[in-house]
Homo-oligomer: A and B are copies of this chain.
Amino acid sequence: MKFTAKVTIGLKEGMLDPEARAIQHALANIGFATEGLSTARVFTITLEAEDRAAAEAQVEQMCERLLANPVIHRYEVEVLA
């Protein structure tokens, strides 16, 4: 069966996010004041799997082994369909 999974990968709470600070600074330079800004990556993956649980397990493994750095990142896997 074909499944689509959405993976959201962001920095763990308390981690410095220099990219977000730089973007916030650039937005301020062109006149947009923001109180906070955080960034995250989203991967939408289509894969074959036995069932929904197997799809979720596979995508979790993809995160652990490649997509996310377990030291600094937190990730969320959502099997859509």
Contact = CB atoms under 8 A, between A and B. Distances in A.
Contacts of A41: 39-42
A62 B8 contact: no
Q: Which 6 pairs across A and B sit closest by C-beta, in order of nearness? A: A36-B46, A35-B46, A40-B42, A38-B44, A34-B47, A37-B45
Interface of A: 2, 8, 10, 20, 23, 26-27, 30, 32-48, 58, 61-62, 65-67
16 contacts: A2-B35, A8-B42, A20-B43, A23-B43, A30-B65, A30-B66, A32-B62, A32-B66, A34-B47, A35-B47, A35-B48, A37-B44, A37-B46, A38-B44, A39-B41, A40-B43
